[in-house]
Amino acid sequence: DLQNEDFTTKFVIYHRRFSTNTNPKWPLAQPMRVVGHNGEINTLIGNVNWVKAREKSKTLPAEELGDLVSKENTDNIVMMCNTQDVPNLLEPLVDLNRSDSANLDAVFELMTKSRHRAPCALMSLVPAAYENEPALSDNPEIIDFYKFHGGLLEAWDGPALLVFSDGKSIGASLDRNGLRPARYSITKDGTVYMMSETGVVDLDEADIVSKGRLGPGMMINVDLATGEFKDNIAIKSEIASRHPYGEWIAKNRKDVTKMSFAEERIYDDATTTFAQGSFGWGLEDIGMQIQDMAGFARETTYSMGDDAPIAVLSERPHTPYNYFKQRFAQVTNPPIDPLREGVVMSVAMTLGKKESIYKVSEKGARLIHLESPVLNSNEMERIASFSSEENGGFQQGTISTRYALEDGPEGIKKAIEAICDKAAEDVRNGVEVLILSDKAADQSELDGSTYIPPLVAVGAVHHRLITEGLRMDTGIVVETGSAWSTHHFACLVGYGANAVHPYLALETVKQWHGARRTQSQMEAGKLAVTTVDQAQQNYRKAVENGLLKILSKMGISLMSSYQGAQIFEAMGLGEDVVDTSFKGTTSRIGGVGLEDIASETVMMRPETASEKTKLVNYGYYKPVPKQGEYHANSSDLAKLLHDAIGLDKKVSAATNRDSAENDGVKPKNFANYEIFKKSLAEAPLANIRDLLDFESDRESIAIEDVEPASEIMKRFCTGAMSLGALSREAHETLAIAVNRVGGKSNSGEGGEDVVRGLDLTDVDEKGRSPTFPHLAGLKNGDSANSYVHQVASGRFGVTPQFLTTAKQLEIKMAQGAKPGEGGQLPGPKVSEYIASLRASKPGVTLISPPPHHDIYSIEDLAQLIHDLHAVNEKAGVSVKLVSSIGIGTVACGVAKAQADVIQISGGDGGTGASPLSSIKHAGMPWEMGLSEAHSALLNNGLRDRVTLRVDGGIRTGRDLAIAAMMGAEEFGFGTIAMIAEGCVMARVCHLNTCPVGVTSQKEELRKKFPGTPEHVVNFFEFVAEEIRELMAHMGYSNFEDLIGRSDLLKEDEAQIAKIAKTKGVSLSGFFSSIPDSKGDRAFLRATPAEGGGLKGDVVHVNGFGSELDREMCNHPDVKAAIEKNEGDTAVSFNIKNTDRSTCAMLAGDIAREYGNAGLDGNLNINMFGSAGQSFGAFTLPGMKVRLTGEANDYVGKGMHGGEIVVLPEADAGFVAADSSIVGNACLYGATGGDFHANGRAGERFCVRNSGAYAVSEGTGDHCCEYMTGGVVVALGTVGRNVGAGMTGGIGYFYDEDGRFEERVNGEIVKCQRVITPAGELQLRNIVERHFEKTGSEKAESILDNWDEDLGKFWQVYPPSEASSAVVSETIVGDAVKVSAVAPSEELCYLPVGAGMNPDQTTLCAD
C-alpha cells in the first residue's frame, strides 16, 4: 500500500521491533488495533488481575444494554459495551498468555469505544508524574484529571513509547519516567514526523520549522479532521477541561494525611514480648531492623550474602513472607531509581468502592485517599469517622483472623473459609473498608488463640472477593502484629491489601524507644535524640522508602500499580496454599501446606508470658553459635579451609610475614580439605542442590584417565568484587591467583589502576615487587590485570584504556545480593586512592544508579554490547543476570543482542554493602535460573552463541559439578575465594572494620591481610581435584561431557526425607523441562558461521552498524596520523542513524597504542547527517569530532577527552536553541573532554559525568544526575530534578523564565547566583568557546548582554565544591579550570582575576 502512489492516507504508524519474545508470532506484530507500543508494562500482572476483577464485577442487568451503536445524545463518555457493567459481552478482555502490548491495546480500544477520546484513555492508563511537576503549575485542571482517574484505575506503568490512533486523531505519549526515546519534526507543509530515533526519515533541515522530543509523561496529538498539532499542555488541558474534576474531588473525596502517632502503650512489656514471639519476631528484628528504622529512618545495611537455608529447608520456624522472593526487572525492562528519581514515585493508596473505568461521573471521585499505605491508630480512627453518613458514609467492617489454639493445625482451613465467607457477606452488605485484624485484646486472648498469618489471610480474602465479583467494591486494611520489615509490607500489598496497620511494630518502636539502652545511646550521641512520635515517624519513613525501593526493582512507580500485582515467586509453598491465597504465583518445587504453615506459626509462640520472657535470637542474619540458624559461610568453615590451604591469619605484614619461611604459607593439606568438604556435606539442608545426588550411566575409570586439573581450572572465575569493596591487597591477590591458574579474574565496578596492565618483571627472591609493595608471594610473570573488566551503571573508572586492556568486558545488569539496585560503597571506604580510580570525591558515599540510564530495554543492551565490541573487538562481552522466573526469555534476548557470555548469579550472592531485605528476599537460587536459561537457549537454537557462567554460593567441586550438569560452562567463586585469602566471615564489610584487611581501606587493617596468591591457588587445586575424583567415579574423562547432562542428576530421597517441615517438596518438575542433550553436543561449540571452534576463542563481530567506524579506522590519513602521533589531520564522512557507536573503534585503536592520554596530534573528524546511538563514544584527547546535523541517545558516552561539537545545518529552518539536537543520557559516564551542542538535549544530560565540560542550550529532566566532576552549562530551560545525587562538579543554568529554583533537587546540591570573579571567568570562557565552536545565536545574545544576562544564571554545586574559588568569595588565588582539553595545564588553569596574554590567546584560539 505504502508504495502505491494511488493510495492516500492522512497518517501512517510503522513499527519495527527487536524480538525479545523467544518465539515471535504474527498476533504479536505491531502496531496493534489502536496502539503501537515500544516498551514493557512492568505492572502487567496486576493490571490484568484488576481488569479480570472488573470483568467479574457486574453492575448493570443485560436488559439495560440498549443500543450499542448510537449514543450521540449523552454527555457521559459511556458505551454500554463495557465489561465492568455488562455480563459476558467482550470477555475475556485480557489474558496473560498474550503480550503486554496486546493487553494494553484491548483495554485502550475498549475505552475509546466507550466514548473516551484516545488521548483521554491514554492519559488515564499511562499517567504522567503530575505531583510536584513545575511544568503543570499553571494547569491545575490537568492535575485534577490525573487525581480523579488515579483513583479509578491502576496505572499501566513501565518504560513505554506509545503511538495511538482511534481514526479521529493520532498521537504519541511517553511513560512517566521518560525511559524511551521519541523525537519529532514539523515541516513547512504541516507534516508531523515522530520517530523513536531521529534520522529514520530523511528530511531537509531547511524545510523543518520545529524539532522537538517527548519528555517524561508528555504527549503530542494531531487532529486528523483539522490538521491541528497540539503539544503536551494543549491536548491535556483540552481533555482535562471537559469535566469539573477538581469540584468533584473537593466534594466527594476524603483524605487521610499523615497524623501524629499515639504515645501510649497498648500492652505491657511482658505481653508485648509474648505477642512479638507469637508473630515470629526475633531479637535481631529489634536490635537490627527496628533500631535502624526508628533511630535513623532507614533500612538496615548489611554485607555478605544470604548463606542461610531457604525457608522450606530451614529447621527454624519462618513466617510465610520468607517463602516469597521479590521479582525484579532486568534487560527487557529497567528498574528505576527511588533514591534520585523519587519525584515520579508515590506510595499513595485508596479505600472504597471503585466505579467503572469506562465511564466518567462524579461518583468516581468518592474514595478515601491515603497519603501512605502504612497507617497508625489515629489514622485508623479517622478512617472509621468516615463511616457516618454525614462524613461520607464509607461503611466499615472488622474481621478477626484469630482462631482457637485448640482447633489444631487443621483448624486453619476452616478459619480461612470463615473469614472469606464473612468478607463476601460484609461487602455485599455495603462494607467499603474491610479490616482483617489479628489483634488480641489482652494476654488471655493471646494465650487461647492463634492466627491465620496475615499474608495467607489477605490473599485468600482478596481472591475470594475477585471470584465473587466483589473486589472492586471494597478496600482491604490489614491490621497485624506480623509486619515489620519492608518485605512484609510489600507482600501484603502485592497480594491485595490497600493498607496496613502494623500495630505491633509501632508498639515495638515505643518499647524500643523507652528501653534504658536506647535512652543511653541517645545521651551518648550514638543515636539522634527523638520523641516517641518522631521514632514512629522514622519507622514509617523507612518502610515507605523501602517499599519504593522494592517497587523500583520491578520498574514500577506507583504503589497503586503494585497492589495485587503478585510480583513474587514462591519458594517452598505447596499447591493448596497457592490455590487458596496466591493464585497465579509460580511455586516450582512444591512445599509446605496450610497445616504445615499453621504448625510453623504455633512453633513461634513463647511458652509463657512473664517479665523474664525473652525473644529468641533466631540468627537469621548474624550467625548465633549453637542455637541459631545454620549459616554455610561461618568462621568455623573459614578455619577449616584455612587449615587445608595452609593459611595462618596471624601472619601478615603487621606481624612476622617478612621473617617467616615461604611468607608463612604452610603446605596444603588434603586431609584437612576432606574435613572441610565433610563439614558441608553433613551440614543442615540449605539449598536445592543439597537435595540432589549423582546417577551415572557409565562405569568408573582411573583418575589418571581424567582431564588434568590445570584444564579444569581454566573454567574458574572470581566474582565481580570491586576494588573499594575489597582492599587493594585482597583484590590484587585474587586477580593474580586466578590468572596463575588460567582462569578469569574480574575487576568489579570500581575501575582498575593502569599499573595492573603489565606482567610483573621486578619480583625479587622473597616474592616482593616494588610495583606492588603491599603484596607477598609474587612471581615474575604474574599479572594483576583482571581478565574481565566490568562496566556497571556507575561507570566508575570506565575509560578507553580500561576497556581496551580487558580480555572480556562484563555488563552488570544485576547483582545477586540486590538485583534491581545499583552498587553501594560507603563513604569511609572511598579513600584517596579509590576516589582517584573512580573520578569521585574522597569520603563521599558512592551509590550507583540502577541500570536504566542506557539500558532501558533489550535494544539498549544490544547497543551497549555494540559499543563494547566496537571499542575492543578482541574482547567478548558478558552480561550478568540474576536468577528469576522468566530468565529464559531474557537470556534468549541477550543472546540475540550479540553477547558472548551470559552469567547467571544466584540471589544468595555476596556483597560489600546492601539493604538487608534485598540480601534476604530478592533473587532465586542459581539452580532455578541456570536450568531455565540453558533450556530456553537450547530450545530456541541459541545455546551455541553464548557461554553460560554461574556463580552464587559455589563452594566445592560437588556444587560445581551440579552446576555443569544444569548447563554451566564456567564457574564463579565469590565469598569462598575471599575466605581462601584470609576472610574470617566477620560480616562487617560495610563498616570498613574488617579485622583481616580483606574489605577495609584503613591502612592499619590492610596491613593485617594474611593472604597470598598461593593460598587461593591451593583452594582452586583442591576443588579441581575433587571434580576429577567425581568424574573418575562417574566414568567421565572430559569435563565438557558433563555440561548440560541433567540426566546424571537425581533426587536424593534420603536428603528429602530430612526436610523437617513438610513432605511436599518435589524436584521432579524442576528437571522435566531441561532438554536431553546427551546425544547432541553441538551447543558446546561456536556456530558454524563463526568457525565452529571453542566458544571461548570466538568473539561476535559487530555488523553493519560499525561499517562507518571501520571505514574511518582504515582511512589512510587516520592510520598515518595515529602512527606518526603528531600534527593535525582532517577527514570527513557522511553519517546516518544506523551508524552506531561511531568513533568508538577509533578510540579503541588509539587507546591500545597510547593509553588514555598519549595521542599528541589532533584528529579532526567532520561528520554530516543524522548520527546513530552512542555517537562519539569513548573519545580521547586529540580527537576533535564535529557533527553537522543531529544525533540520537548517548552522545559522548564514556567520553574521556577531546572535543565533540554538534550543530545544525547552516540553512536550517528552525531556531536551534528551541530545538532538540541530541538525545537522552548524553555524556553518560564521561571522564573528560569538551562538549558543545547547538540545540537542546534530552533527559539525564551528563549523568555520572566526572570530568567533561559540557554545554547545551537546554535539557530535559535529571540534568547532572549522579555527577562527580566536570562542568555543565545549560543556556536554556531545563526539566526538573536538577543535581539529584550530584556529589562533585559545577553547573551553570540560564534561567529565562525565572522558575529554575523549583526544578532543583535540593537534597544534596545548593544553588546561588554567580557571585565570584572566578565563577564568572569560568562561565564566560565556556560560553565564549561555545559561540566560537558552534556559532550559537543564543550564546552570542548572552555574550552581547553579558552584564545583564550574567544575573540570570544560577550556579549549582554540591558540598564538596563549596570551598572552590568558583563558588566561594573567600577563596583567593585558586586555579580556575575553563576547559577539559586545553593544550597544557598552564593554559587550563588561570589565577583568579587574570586574563590571557596574547600568546595564550592565540594558542587557545587554535
Grid coordinates belonging to 353: 468502592
Residue 880 has pLDDT above 90, yes or no: yes
Residue 1059 has pLDDT above 60, yes or no: yes
Residue 489 has pLDDT above 50, yes or no: yes
Residue 574 has pLDDT above 80, yes or no: yes
State residue 1377's pLDDT score: 82
- Hey, what's the torsion of the CAs at 949, 951, 954, 959, to 10 degrees? -40
The reported pTM is 0.94
Number of Cβ within 10 Å of residue 836's Cβ equals: 13
Mean per-residue pLDDT, 388-414: 96
State residue 372's pLDDT score: 98
What tens digit of pLDDT does each residue of 252-270 get? 999 999 999 999 999 999 9
What tens digit of pLDDT does each residue of 13-36 get? 999 877 765 566 777 788 888 999
State residue 1400's pLDDT score: 54
Residue 59 has pLDDT above 70, yes or no: no
What tens digit of pLDDT does each residue of 1279-1296 get? 999 999 999 999 999 999
Residue 633 has pLDDT above 60, yes or no: yes
Residue 1406 has pLDDT above 50, yes or no: no
The residues, ordered by sequence, that sit 6+ positions from 1400 with a Cβ below 8 Å of its Cβ are 1387
Give the whole-angstrom CA distance, residue 161 versus residue 175.
7
Grid coordinates belonging to 919: 540480601
Mean per-residue pLDDT, 751-775: 95
Percent of the chain with pLDDT over 90: 82
State residue 94's pLDDT score: 87
**Residue type at 1022 in one-letter notation:** F
State residue 294's pLDDT score: 97
Residue 75 has pLDDT above 50, yes or no: no
Residue 86 has pLDDT above 60, yes or no: no
What tens digit of pLDDT does each residue of 776-817 get? 999 999 999 999 999 999 999 999 999 999 999 999 999 888
Q: What's the 3-state SS for 90-135? A: CCCCCCCCCCHHHHHHHHHHHHHHCCCCHHHHHHHHCCCCCCCCHH
Residue 976 has pLDDT above 80, yes or no: yes
Q: What's the 3-state SS for 861-916? A: HHHHHHHHHHHCCCCEEEEEEECCCCHHHHHHHHHHCCCCEEEEECCCCCCCCEEH
Q: Which residue has the higher pLDDT, 625 or 1004?
A: 1004
Residue 1402 has pLDDT above 60, yes or no: no
What tens digit of pLDDT does each residue of 430-478 get? 999 999 999 999 999 999 999 999 999 999 999 999 999 999 999 999 9
- Average pLDDT of the chain? 92
What tens digit of pLDDT does each residue of 111-157 get? 888 778 999 999 999 999 999 899 999 999 999 999 999 999 999 98
Contact status, residue 1396 vs residue 1328, Cβ threshold 8 Å: no
Contact status, residue 1248 vs residue 849, Cβ threshold 8 Å: yes
State residue 71's pLDDT score: 44
The residues, ordered by sequence, that sit 6+ positions from 388 with a Cβ below 8 Å of its Cβ are none
State residue 1390's pLDDT score: 47
The residues, ordered by sequence, that sit 6+ positions from 1139 with a Cβ below 8 Å of its Cβ are 1105, 1107, 1108, 1109, 1171, 1172
What tens digit of pLDDT does each residue of 210-252 get? 999 999 999 999 999 999 999 999 999 999 999 999 999 999 9
Give the whole-angstrom CA distance, residue 1357 versus residue 1022.
54
In order of 40, 149, 218, 233, 1404, the CA distances from 230 in angstroms are 26, 22, 11, 8, 46
What tens digit of pLDDT does each residue of 324-378 get? 999 999 888 889 999 999 999 999 999 999 998 877 899 999 999 999 999 999 9
Residue 538 has pLDDT above 80, yes or no: yes
Mean per-residue pLDDT, 35-48: 90
Contact status, residue 237 vs residue 142, Cβ threshold 8 Å: yes
State residue 857's pLDDT score: 84
Mean per-residue pLDDT, 1396-1406: 52
**Bridge partner residues of 1255 (DSSP):** 1236, 1273
State residue 64's pLDDT score: 46
Q: Which residue has the higher pLDDT, 98 or 389?
A: 389
Which of helix, strand or coil describes residue 1391? strand
State residue 1373's pLDDT score: 56
Residue 568 has pLDDT above 90, yes or no: yes
Grid coordinates belonging to 533: 512520635
**Bridge partner residues of 370 (DSSP):** 256, 349
